[in-house]
Amino acid sequence: MPEDDPALAVEEELRLARLALADGNLPHAADHVAAALVRAPTLPEVHETLARVAAASGGDLELFPLGHHAFVGAVVARAHLLAAAGHPAEGLDLLAAATGYAPNADWAGVPWVTAPDLPERLDPERTARILMQICAAVPDPVPRRLRDPLRPYLVLARNAVTVHPGHALLLGAASALARRLGEVALAVTWAARGVRAQPTKLGEVWLGYAYRSAGRTRDALAALGRAVALDPDDLAVYADIAGTLADNGRLDEALDWIDRALAKDPTFDCAVHTAHRLRFQRDGDVAHLVALADFVRDHPDDTHEHGDLAECCRSRPWLGQVTPAGGPVLDALRQALAAEGAARVALRLDALEPPSAMRTATAAVPGLDVEVLAVADPDPREPRRATTWQLWRYEGTIAAPTLPSPSPEAAERIRQLAHPAWPHPPAAYDGAVGLATLELADLLGLLVHPPEPPVTALGRVLAGQDPSLWVRCVQVWTCLGLLHHRTDEPWAESTRRRVLVELVWGVEDWITEAAVFALVTAAWVDPAVRSDVAAVVAERIADVAAVARERRVPIATSLAHLALATPDLDPAARDLARVLIRGPADAPSRPGPFTRLRRLLAALFGRA
């Protein structure tokens, strides 16, 4: 039987269940019915077989046991049996638990859940709690493509509100679910009715959220303000008000609300996260995000997940994604790939490009003819400082690696990890731990011998549209892997620091950027190394500025963005980085590579 045919798989489970029933083996029959429910939770034949198992066992619920590691199919089967036995509230509790475990499955799409008379047999407060449990298990709002499995719960909410039209808690919980499923007008109606029935802080919050989703900002702020008046100590509402104000361009007012919350409790997680996000939004100073990362590290037991740090870092150079490379050789590479080999491409360069760029282009397009007209001083083929780890050797203007290829195991590990985006630098650090056991020779070999992209959607797009981005991903994640090399060694004398600093001062290359990013990431995750890293970055950015006065430095803008991401960087170095990012006043404008990367990420992962 093909494993990828769901219909055949369900039919096989039901066939085995019927055979077990015929043999009187009820536990075996129950196991197969539970497995069939997972594959087809609304299929009538599955429910008919479940009813036969229940009849044969006298409604024995223990055929579908609950426990610490209960099978979701058994949980759902037990829910249906409880409802059939006259205990629908307990059944709904279990269905809600299943939805929390797998929100994309249509666990509740069965007649008894949507029956108009079901709420008459339920306590309205119990129904409200079940709806709140569903809300806690799903995104806010739920993406359109994921809403259908949750609509039976919205039908339940409609029926319950019809039966209990004046129950404030039920109306508020129903509003919260409707809002998540895109029924904003209905959410406003229900929440407003709930507040009229019984004004409570929670009811006003639900009404405020509904108004906010409807674009009625003034009404939303009024409702949230009433919630504060009803409970001045609920600082989460202060954060909600601040977020709403900030979303509507009223940043000063938003910060006033956050300061009021922090005055009451300087450690309240929602207020701290919101405060750092809004302050970064106001002035762009990375110190706010570093302070937030420190707070997250020092408070691992926050009451719930926050996305403020990731939100601030998303799509920003090096904070949330690799900086795409530019330059004439990569422009020629992309043109050749777009032409699909229809013609040979000849390229004459006024200056030498980074060795990684040259090798990436010539490897991806064998018909690419590159001629370098001149090599300007300071010579980009020479390390900026004497180094032990010489990664490139030159014959004229042709660069070749000095190191052997990495092991197949190292190549496979980096294929599994390398990616152009990450939530924030500490998350990137954590993500690279899988490279911790690689030998130093393998890590260095990966920098100059990047493996082919993986056979995934991301790998295929990068290979076909922008091989340079894949090479940069490999180099970035390899240098992050170096941060995990021999972590028992004290930082100042460690192998990982020595190697990364030498890479920073090596031949002007994409590897320079990757090594600087690794050092910057180390400073994000370990306050003890911040002054050291800041000094290295300040020296390197000063050197870039000095060289840029003599010739073009292809990696200058990227290194400047890295400098702005560096914790505790000297203000003078920060100002110098901003000058490098602005570039010469007479520099021609050209489309930035960030646009391409954002489009690629949005196409692959639905993010911008």
Assess if residue 190 is contained within a domain: no
Asked if residue 108 is part of any domain, the answer here is no
Quote the CA–CA distance of 501 and 228 in Å, as a whole number: 52
pLDDT tens string 128-177: 999 999 999 999 999 999 999 999 999 999 999 999 999 999 999 999 99
261-270: long-range pairs with CB below 8 Å, 24+: 261/235, 264/233, 264/235, 265/235, 267/299, 268/235, 269/295, 269/299, 269/302, 269/303, 269/306, 270/235, 270/236, 270/239, 270/303, 270/306
The mean pLDDT of the chain is: 92
The reply to whether omega before 141 is within 30° of 0 (cis) is: yes
Whether residue 340 is contained in a domain is answered as: yes
pLDDT band for position 331 (cuts 50, 70, 90) = confident
Give per-residue pLDDT as tens, 345-402. 678 888 899 999 999 988 888 777 788 888 999 999 999 998 888 899 999 999 999 9
pLDDT of residue 2 exceeding 50:
no
Q: What is the pLDDT of residue 600?
A: 54
By the 8 A CB rule, do 567 and 524 touch?
yes
pLDDT of 588 > 50? The answer is: no
**Residue 23 falls within a domain, yes or no?**
no
- What was the pLDDT predicted at 5? 63
Full domain range(s) for residue 572? 319-608
Range with the lowest mean pLDDT among 344-353, 555-564, 581-590? 581-590
User: pLDDT over 70 for what percent of the chain?
Assistant: 93
In the structure, what pLDDT confidence band is assigned to residue 4 with cuts at 50, 70 and 90?
Answer: low
Residue 486 within any structural domain of the chain: yes
* Cα 290 from Cα 268, distance rounded (Å): 18
- 452 domain-assigned: yes
Q: Which pLDDT tens digit goes with each residue over 299-323?
A: 887 656 789 999 999 999 999 999 9
Reported in sequence order, the residue ranges of 60-217 that DSSP labels E, i.e. its strands, are none
Give, as one character, the DSSP assignment of residue 317.
B
Strands 392-395 and 398-401: antiparallel
Distances (CA, A) of 147 to 26, 75, 141, 361, 471: 36, 22, 10, 45, 38
pLDDT in tens, 109-137: 999 999 999 999 999 999 999 999 999 99
Picking from 127, 64, 131, 72, the residue whose alpha carbon sits closest to that of residue 98 is: 72
Q: Which pLDDT score, from 0 to 100, does residue 362 have?
A: 84
> What pTM did the predictor assign?
0.84
pLDDT tens for 34-58 read: 999 999 999 999 999 999 999 999 9
The residues, any chain, with a CB within 8 Å of residue 237's CB and separated by 6 or more, are 201, 205, 224, 227, 228, 231
- 246-286 pLDDT per residue, tens: 999 999 999 999 999 999 999 999 999 999 999 999 999 99
pLDDT at 583: 79
How many domains, in total, are found in the chain? 1
CB of 138 closer than 8 Å to CB of 150: yes
Helices (H), 327-407: 328-339, 355-364
Percent of the chain beyond pLDDT 90? 82
Q: Can you point out the beta strands (E) in 384-540?
A: 392-395, 398-401
Residues contacting residue 421 through CB under 8 Å, at least 6 positions apart: 320, 321, 322, 601, 605, 607
Residue 155 placed within a domain: no
| Token pair 């993406």: residue | 143
The phi and psi torsions of 317 (rounded to 5 degrees) equal -55, 120
Residue with tokens 């904070």: 319
pLDDT, one tens digit per residue, over 593-606 is 555 555 555 555 45
Structural domain includes residue 76:
no
Say if residue 1's pLDDT is above 80: no
- Whether the predicted pLDDT of 93 surpasses 90: yes
- Transcribe 440-456 into DSSP letters: HHHHHHHHHSPPPPPSS
Strand partners, 234: none
Tell me the pLDDT band of 241, cut-offs 50, 70 and 90: very high
